[in-house]
């Protein structure tokens, strides 16, 4: 899907001012409201925009500990383990990966003891062979997509 300069400007506004109305986006951009809405609809339909809503802080929800847990799975049990991981509320993301392990999970916890409890729960899941945990000390680059959006919008042949 080609993202042009107007799409990039719209995406920037959606990221930087998510609670603003389409009418106000149109005013800021100097284009018709219908144009902005049509572009947003197309970006959603094409899977560029995958969700809307607030971004929540696990730390503010009482879970300041962030860990990345690598999960090694018995061959042939990846789907079952993945389904079981979805039932653990402290797992906020999980990915199939290559390299050291089969799954990489992002886990949040109230404290170190709670993290240990979550890891013990993972170890007891049928199909889990072992886990390896890395605790995040400090976020150095927060989750962001605006630099990527801007780089894609500057690609030759995208306008």
> pLDDT tens digit string along 29-39?
999 999 999 99
What's this model's pTM, rounded to 2 decimal places? Answer: 0.84
Joined tokens for residue 8: 């990039």
**3-state class (DSSP) for residue 112:** helix
Structure tokens at 72: 């090694």
pLDDT in tens, 107-128: 999 999 999 999 999 999 999 9
φ, ψ dihedrals at 45, nearest 5°: -60, -40
Cα separations (Å) of 72 from 24, 65, 75, 103, 104? Answer: 49, 22, 9, 7, 9
Q: Give residue 156's pLDDT.
A: 63
């Amino acid at each position: 899907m080609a993202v042009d300069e107007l799409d990039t400007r719209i995406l920037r506004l959606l990221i930087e001012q998510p609670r603003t109305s389409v009418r106000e986006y149109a005013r800021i951009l100097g284009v018709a409201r219908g144009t902005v809405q049509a572009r947003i609809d197309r970006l959603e339909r094409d899977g560029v925009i995958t969700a809307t809503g607030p971004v929540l802080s696990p730390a503010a929800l009482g879970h300041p500990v962030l860990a990345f847990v690598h999960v090694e799975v018995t061959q042939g049990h990846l789907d079952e383990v993945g389904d079981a991981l979805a039932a653990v509320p402290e797992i906020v993301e999980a990915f199939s990966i290559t390299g050291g392990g089969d799954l990489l999970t992002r886990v949040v916890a109230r404290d170190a003891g709670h993290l240990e409890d979550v890891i013990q729960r993972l170890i007891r899941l049928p199909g889990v062979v072992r886990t390896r945990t890395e605790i995040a000390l400090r976020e150095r680059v927060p989750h962001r997509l605006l630099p990527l959006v801007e780089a894609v919008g500057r690609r030759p042949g995208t306008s």
